[in-house]
């Protein structure tokens, strides 16, 4: 009987070993993600002082443009470029390329900002579905009050291994912005890899206003503090679906982090198999005279 249990445990462990990704191995995207600084206000082509949003929104890129800046980094990673005419450009010059200034001008020209409940006036919030053609978004929620739950971690790891950057809304304290009362999605960062249990990120806020570059750091050492992920967005890009360069209805999928699919489910199954095998081995050892 003990021999049978041992063989079963060995087979289960072998399955788990073959199915699970190498635990502890660093995860890196296949190429660097360009880091941009939302607070770049002093230098050639500076975008930090540019108005963000439409219809009288009082915000600027340097104050609330972390999400737009994060998307500029990810779109630049994918090689996406957009064009803005001189009349709609913060710099007064027509431009083609990808940086937070160009993307913000393009979003403003394509009605890609909408009204949020916390906006005092105007349209200050990014309209996810109005991003450039070819962008595909999958939304997930981290169902945990403390750190990142195991399922969310599996989903993020899988996306990064597939070469897809992840944009995450984070908080770092009970109240992120003083007396605003905001406790979630206070800031947005780009997840670019993982070393051990820590994610490498690009923080789009750099206090050096003369630098166009964001800060390369880790999730537990963000510019504002140790970040906790509230929700995250896997960003994919299909160049074949972007012939026009105009705004479209971006595919947006809402998926709870506790409901993974595909290979993520296989990883979870393998993890459960590993636990089951260990239980069998312990039981067999306890039965040994």
Cβ-Cβ contacts under 8 Å for 65 (sequence gap 6 or more): 38, 48, 52, 59, 100, 104, 204
**Could you tell me the maximum CA-CA distance found in the chain, to the nearest angstrom?**
86
Mean pLDDT highest for which of 120-124, 159-163, 170-174, 276-280? Answer: 159-163
The proportion of the chain whose per-residue pLDDT surpasses 90, expressed as a percent, equals 63
Instruction: Say if 10 falls within a structural domain.
Output: no
> How many structural domains is the chain composed of?
1
Instruction: Say if 15 falls within a structural domain.
Output: no
In contact, 172 and 226? CB cutoff 8 Å: yes
Instruction: Say if 64 falls within a structural domain.
Output: yes
| DSSP reduced 3-state for 154 | helix
Question: Nearest-CA neighbor of 48 among 34, 37, 33?
Answer: 37
Instruction: Say if 230 falls within a structural domain.
Output: yes
**Considering the entire predicted model, what is its pTM?**
0.79
Chain mean position to CA 16: 28
CATH of the domain at 65: 3.90.70
Cβ-Cβ contacts under 8 Å for 240 (sequence gap 6 or more): 134
Q: Per-residue pLDDT for 175 more than 80?
A: no
Instruction: Say if 233 falls within a structural domain.
Output: yes
pLDDT tens for each residue of 124-169? 999 999 999 999 999 999 987 778 999 999 999 999 999 999 999 9
Q: What is the number of other CB atoms lying within 10 angstroms of the CB of residue 209?
A: 16
User: Residue 101: left if φ>0, alpha if ψ -120 to 50, beta else—which one?
Assistant: alpha
Q: Per-residue pLDDT for 44 more than 80?
A: yes
Instruction: State the residue range of the domain holding 201.
Output: 31-258
Tell me whether strands 252-254 and 135-141 are parallel, antiparallel or unpaired.
Answer: parallel
Distance CA 213, CA 203 (A): 9
């Amino acid at each position: 009987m003990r021999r049978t249990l041992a063989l079963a445990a060995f087979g289960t462990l072998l399955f788990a070993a073959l199915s699970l990704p190498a635990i502890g191995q660093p995860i890196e995207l296949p190429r660097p993600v360009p880091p941009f600084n939302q607070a770049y206000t002093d230098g050639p082509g500076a975008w930090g002082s540019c108005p963000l949003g439409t219809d009288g929104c009082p915000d600027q890129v340097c104050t609330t443009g972390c999400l737009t800046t994060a998307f500029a980094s990810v779109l630049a990673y994918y090689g996406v470029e957009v064009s803005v005419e001189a009349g709609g450009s913060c710099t007064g010059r027509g431009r083609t390329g990808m940086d937070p200034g160009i993307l913000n001008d393009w979003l403003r020209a394509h009605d890609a900002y909408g009204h949020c409940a916390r906006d005092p006036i105007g349209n200050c919030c990014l309209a996810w579905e109005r991003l450039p053609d070819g962008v595909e978004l999958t939304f997930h929620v981290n169902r945990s009050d403390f750190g990142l739950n195991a399922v969310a971690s599996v989903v993020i790891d899988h996306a990064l291994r597939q070469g897809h950057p992840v944009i995450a809304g984070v908080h770092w304290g009970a109240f992120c912005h003083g007396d605003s009362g905001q406790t979630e999605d206070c800031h947005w960062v780009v997840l670019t890899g993982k070393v051990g249990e820590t994610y490498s990120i690009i923080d789009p806020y750099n206090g050096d206003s003369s630098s166009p570059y964001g800060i390369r750091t880790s999730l537990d050492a963000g510019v504002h503090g140790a970040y906790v992920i509230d929700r995250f967005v896997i960003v994919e890009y299909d160049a074949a679906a972007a012939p026009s360069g105009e705004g479209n209805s971006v595919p947006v999928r809402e998926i709870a982090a506790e409901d993974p699919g595909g290979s993520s489910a296989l990883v979870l199954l393998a993890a459960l198999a590993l636990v089951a095998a260990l239980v069998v081995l312990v039981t067999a050892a306890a039965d040994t005279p």
